[in-house]
Homo-oligomer: A and B are copies of this chain.
């Protein structure tokens, strides 16, 4: 992802992002210099600088001329994240509590949303997690698995490839894994495909019949892996 696009995730417009990067690269500049260097017209440059300052991406140095200095990127991002964390707490405190719903079969679409759900299931697990995913997905969620292990969650993992993490129980499958499967605490299950980008689709459910079905299926999968391993 391009740097400008990442900066827009933190609330900057394209112009503001371009100006911010220019300040980082060129050092402190005044408004006239910013306009010249970036090619943004002077009126727009001054407007965007004012907005960048208001958003906390730059500070003003009032000397013979008014110059602008960029805020360090880690500081700028931390400020934004901190603000969202505060908003998060305020939302949790004030938002209407979710009405109890009849749990059914929830469809989760898009690789990003599926990864989020997968990670949240690991995060909220209390006792044990069975997970069957390709190695590259494991790479992505390694920090979450590590954190789960650290708090005493039993992690049983079926995967292909060479991924390893101490404290986990790993069963290696020779066959490519076409689907992901995850069971957390024998109460909720996630399954489906995740290699179709935004078209990936998974099913999430807390239905006990589905959970039981998947538990049996994964136990059998593990038995098969152990049997074929014994023969090698």
Contact = CB atoms under 8 A, between A and B. Distances in A.
A162 B189 CA distance: 51
A60 B109 contact: yes
Contact of A120 (B61, B75, B81, B116): B75
Given A56-B112, A107-B61, A88 B81 contact: yes
A106 B21 contact: no
Interface in A104-138: 104-110, 112-113, 116, 119-120
A96 to B, nearest CB: 5
A90 B1 contact: yes
Interface string A1-30: 101001101100000000001001111100
Interface string A58-94: 0111110000011011110111111111011011101
A232 interface: no
A53 interface: yes
Number of copies: 2
A50 to B, nearest CB: 10
Nearest to A84: B81
B99 A24 contact: yes
- Indicate the member of A54, A74, A95, A112 with the most B CB atoms within 10 Å: A95
Contacts of A1: 87, 90
A165 B99 CA distance: 40
Contact of A54 (B28, B110, B120): B110
